[in-house]
Structure 1
C-alpha cells in the first residue's frame, strides 16, 4: 500500500461528487480554513481500517467508513443534498467508476441533522454515512530478488521387470 492510498481514495470519491454536484464545493471536514459559500459538502474518513478477511496482506480487502455532510443556511437545501449523497455511490455510473479503482459502496445510512445558530444565521447539516469496501493493491516487498533458475532431477522407478 503506498503512502498516498487514502489520498487516492478520497480523490476518487470527491471526483464523483464534483461530477454530479459541479457547483458545490467539497472539502475535508477537519480543515481549519474559512468555510466556503453555502451549500458545501464535507467528508471525513472516520474509521480507516476495518478488516474483512483475516490473513490477507497482499491486495487486502477492508472497509473504510466515510461521513459526508451537506451544509447550508437553507434547511431544505441541506436535506436535499444529504438525500442525494445517500444515493450517489449506488447509482450505476458512479458505482462503475469507483469499481474501476477497487472501491465499492457496501452500505449507507443517514446522519442525524444538526442545526446551529451562528451569530447571524442558521446552519443546517444533513448527510450520509457510508461503508466502502476497498482493495489496497499492496505488494509485499520484504523479500527481494527472485529465483534465477530451477534444475529439477527426476528419479523415475520403472515397475518391476518380469
Structure 2
C-alpha cells in the first residue's frame, strides 16, 4: 500500500500500539514524561517519513524508530551535562542567560551530529586538536598513526565541515 493513505494507517497504528510503545519507552528511560515525548516523536516520524503502510511487523518497526530516538535522547543529555559541567567551572558573573544556554546546547548538538558522520579516527583527531589542543604529534601517538595521517584526518574533517556549511538549507 502506498504512503498516500499514511494518516489513516498511522492513526490505526497509534491506536493499536501507542500504549505498548509508551510502556517500552518508560522501561528504557525510567521517566514517564520523556517516554511520552519520544512516543509522540516516533509517530510523528511515521507521518513525515514515506513508508509502505500498513506495516508487516509494526512493533519491530516502532521499536527501531524508538531505539534511535532513545539513543539521540541520551546523547543530548550527555551533551547538556557536559555543557552544564563546563559552565559550573566558570565564575557566576560569566554565566550565560537561559536563552544563550539553550542556543549553545542546540549549536553543540548540531556540531555533534555533523561530527558523528565522520569516520572514527578523523573525528577523534579533529576533536583532540580543537578541544584538547593536542599537537599533530600527540594525536598521532594517541591514535597510533603517523603525523602525515593526522594531517589527512584533519583535512578530511575540515572538508567535511566546509561541505556541511556550504550545503543548501544550512
- Bigger Rg over Cα: 1
TM-score, normalising length from structure 1? 0.24
TM-score, normalising length from structure 2? 0.23
**Higher strand residue share:** 1
